[in-house]
Structure 1
Amino acid sequence: MNTQARPPVLANLGPLAQLRAGRLPERLLRLVTGLWLYGVAIALMIEGALGASPWDVFHLGVSRHLPVSFGTVMVLAAFGVLLAWIPLRQMPGLGTVANTLLLGPFADLNLALLATPDTLPLRCLYLIGGVATCAFATALYVGAQLGPGPRDGLMTGLARRTGWSIRRVRTAIEVSVLAVGVLLGGTVGVGTIVFALGVGPVTQFFLRYLVVRLDAPVGELSRDVR
């Protein structure tokens, strides 16, 4: 059978199996690059000041009540989300650890590097760039198949359990988190709506091209991304 004819799939492998599934240097590069780009996307959305992403509305809301940086709140929230993995039987991996520990610091660093633009057209470019970069970054590091980050593991775990598409699950999660963030005092704007409705479809589009095919039995590959 021609394996290249199969659609790309997201695997649900254990940590050791993820490391033994082939193409490890390439996948590690994809992982770190994806996490860095996600930090860029977060900074673009926040500095654009047209409304943060739903998760970041939540993080900003929590940061209003804790004397820690935005990135530290992200790390703390990631540990909390990992608890939801238990009933989903979602497998962690090196990517899970990297996302949990690095994404918050990457966000803080990019927030320090990017300035808030003065003009509305440039702020709109920040918004559009943030949504597109976030979707690409998500597909890049999730597609590396080293274990998704806490938030994306929730997305892929629910997709596997419910049979829903990545697009549908991602949108449902973003809208739910947004509601909690608003209650906590996070800032909402038109960018929040654009992100909540747009990032799911764009992420699924990029996943079609960025999921790495693994050297693993077909029976262990659990979810196609069409």
Structure 2
Amino acid sequence: MSTRLPARVVRLLLGLALFGASVALMVRADLGLSSWDVLHQGLAERTGLPLGWVVNGVALVVLLLWVPLRQRPGIGTVANVALVGLALDGVLAVLPPVHAPATRFGLLLLGVLLNGVATALYLGARFGPGPRDGLMTGLAARGLPLGRARTLIELGVLATGWLLGGTVGIGTVIYALSIGPLAQFLIPRLAVPAPRRPAQTGVTSPCPA
């Protein structure tokens, strides 16, 4: 077994747990969420279900949309469906609501930063994208430009979540502007290095996991 495999698994599980924790921090900040989490919160408000259950349920529904797009989930995709919501509800259970404006803003910034770290860890594990990212890339593979696919999805879920009662605010803007640069900076630094391909010498060797 390649020594890289345990490191990849640790990064995957830690990244997904931190992702759920980061969303919980932004929920407690109550200053605005990412577009998908606005939808999750709105659905939770309407259904009365725990937020983490809604997160996992929406992820499962989105994963089913991969079928007509001929997308294949990886281990990380399935783990994303199962674990993020559990971590989210776990942190919400021990982190009480806060009211001081400075504390709320601090939680927001910490949540956004932690989300960037979590994204870099689970994507850097190279076990497959999350269901929502896979939906975007699946639409792009079917002919819709990648940028347009992302914009349509993000705006659609944001508008739906806001109409359902999800929180839109300065945190939504901060997240949208910062998560891309954060992920771009952190992924090369936190990812497990990809295995090197053997030199073309005429002798083959097994590729590490």
TM-score (norm 2): 0.82
Structure 1 window deviating more from structure 2 (183-192 vs 84-93): it is 84-93
CA contact (8 A) 1:135 1:203 kept: yes
Equivalent-residue separation in structure 2 for 1:76 and 1:153 (angstroms): 16
Structure 1 residues 158 and 127, CA, compared in 2 at 3 Å: closer, same or farther?
Answer: farther
Q: Aligned residue for 1:191? A: 171
1:102 partner letter:
L
Q: CA deviation at 1:141?
A: 0.4
Contact 2:137-2:146 within 8 A present in 1 as well = no
| Structure 1 residues 145-184: aligned runs within 5 Å | 145-157=126-138, 164=146, 173-184=153-164
Matched residue pairs, number?
197
Larger Rg: 2
Structure 1 residue 88, shift from structure 2 partner: 4.2
**One-letter amino acid of the counterpart of residue 62, structure 1:** L
Alpha carbons of structure 1 residues 110 and 217: separation in structure 2 relative to 1, 3 Å: same
Work out the CA distance in 2 between the residues paired with 1:100 and 1:82: 8
**Runs (5+) with no aligned partner, structure 2:** 199-209
Distance in 2 separating the partners of 1:173 and 1:217: 36
Alignment of 1:19-34 (within 5 A): 23-34=4-15
Q: How far apart are 1:26 and its partner, in Å?
A: 0.4
Q: What amino acid does structure 2 have at the position aligned with 1:205?
A: F
Q: Helix, strand or coil for the counterpart of 2:36?
A: helix
Q: Percent identity among equivalent residues?
A: 49
Give the alignment's Cα RMSD to 1 decimal: 2.7
Q: Does 1:78 align with 2:59?
A: yes
Q: Does 1:123 pair with 2:110?
A: no
After the TM superposition, which residues 1-226 of structure 1 pair with which residues of structure 2 at under 5 Å, given as runs?
Answer: 23-157=4-138, 164=146, 173-215=153-195
SS in 2 for 1:126: helix
Distance 1:182 1:115, change over 3 A: same
Structure 1, unaligned runs of 5 or more: 1-19, 219-226
- When residues 128 and 159 of structure 1 are mapped into structure 2, their CA distance, relative to the original with a 3 A threshold, is farther
Pair 145,202 (structure 1): closer, same or farther in 2 beyond 3 Å = same
Shift in alpha-carbon separation, 1:131–1:58, aligned structure 2, 3 A: same
Partners of 2:30 and 2:167 within 8 A in 1 = no
